[in-house]
Copies of this chain bind each other. A is one copy, B any other.
Amino acid sequence: MLRVGICGGSGYAGAELLRILSAHPEVRITTVTSEKSAGKKVTDLFPHLRYGSMPAYEPLDREKLLTKADLFFMALPHAASQVAVDYFVSHGKKVIDLSADYRLRDAKTYEEWYKVPHLFPATLKKAVYGLPELYRKKIAKASLIANPGCYPTGALIGLFPAIRHKLVRADSLVIDSKSGASGAGRQSEVSFSYCEVNEGFKAYSIVSHRHTPEIEQELSSAAGKAVKVNFTPHLVPLDRGILTTIYGRLAKINDLKSVYEVYKAAYGKEPFTTVLEIGKFPNVKNVRGTNFCEIGLAVNERTRTLIVVTAIDNLVKGAAGQAVHNMNIMMGFGETTALDAFALFP
């Protein structure tokens, strides 16, 4: 049994880690931290997590935690994660970091977008970007995983085959994303209160969302040259799910069938990423509560444009589920272990 610890277990991503890991036959959750809720039971915060032997919250005492777990999931806010991740990695632990702290390989870009310096460039170098569809082999050997952001997960899976095979022009990309409210975390701001979100729909952080450099880093890497994107997130009045609609000018081919073959070849063997048959498009409701990513493809021949639509559950494939998937790969467990439940529908 692998002993796993969860640092930052009082938010939605932490709760999802608890939900998923408590059903994982190969692991035992040995510690869950929360500064604010230290001493409380997990069910005080999340009555739906009824796991008999769930440990109570404790403060993040790094030295003490070292003895308790072999692998740590870090669900702390960005910046707060840096130090603890470095500490655990330095002491030989495996770490899967759900924060943004180790996702951007260039420390300057990190500082530019997150407004804090990166203090651990050496550890940053060890981090592997934890998108299994792109980096499965590196993940298997990694000690530190930078678990992708929720928006980048849907955007990158949607764009990766097109960019790598140069199907679309890299200077024309529009990524229009729509996320459920849980993407903002467990919120006490008026703007996330029920009456403000319900029956509303809006764009936010236009041109300035922090997931932009993460998307651009991975697309640039796939394209072999600098790629810049237009990325606009929107807030949808629902709990879970990100639908991403992607537009790119087709560079060579201009027919759907050819595009479809490229995507099928890229993802045909993936356990969680599915290319829907031509004419079908995803709905976030069909992946709710799951680690699946569904992809729908269309070609507008009149404008020579590729349209890719992807759907994920932001808390699962966009956070906790992908983290567990990464752990499964790192540890040699079956990749779908604890992640094979169907969506809850309706």
Q: Does A62 contact B (CB under 8 A)?
A: no
Contact between A341 and B343, CB atoms less than 8 A apart: no
Contact between A228 and B195, CB atoms less than 8 A apart: no
Contact between B236 and A203, CB atoms less than 8 A apart: no
Partner of A186, one of B195, B197, B201, B283: B195
Contact between A206 and B298, CB atoms less than 8 A apart: yes
Interface size on A, residues (CB 8 A): 84
Given that A46-B345, A206-B309 are known contacts, is A199 also in contact with B51, CB under 8 Å in the complex?
no
A284 CB contacts on chain B under 8 angstroms = 199-202
Contact between B23 and A203, CB atoms less than 8 A apart: no
> Which stretch, A101-109, A125-133, A139-147, A175-183, touches the partner chain B?
A175-183
CA distance A307 to B241 in the complex (A): 24
Contact between B303 and A229, CB atoms less than 8 A apart: yes
CA distance A180 to B193 in the complex (A): 13
Contact between B186 and A188, CB atoms less than 8 A apart: no
Q: Does A234 contact B (CB under 8 A)?
A: yes
Given that A193-B186, A240-B346, A307-B207 are known contacts, is A199 also in contact with B247, CB under 8 Å in the complex?
no
CA distance A234 to B203 in the complex (A): 14
Contact between A288 and B207, CB atoms less than 8 A apart: no
A307 CB contacts on chain B under 8 angstroms = 206-207, 230, 232
A283 CB contacts on chain B under 8 angstroms = 47, 200-202
Contact between A289 and B344, CB atoms less than 8 A apart: yes
Supplied contacts A187-B194, A194-B194, 15 more A-B pairs, CB within 8 Å: A23-B341, A48-B285, A48-B288, A48-B343, A182-B195, A193-B193, A199-B238, A199-B240, A201-B285, A206-B307, A207-B299, A230-B247, A232-B245, A234-B243, A289-B289
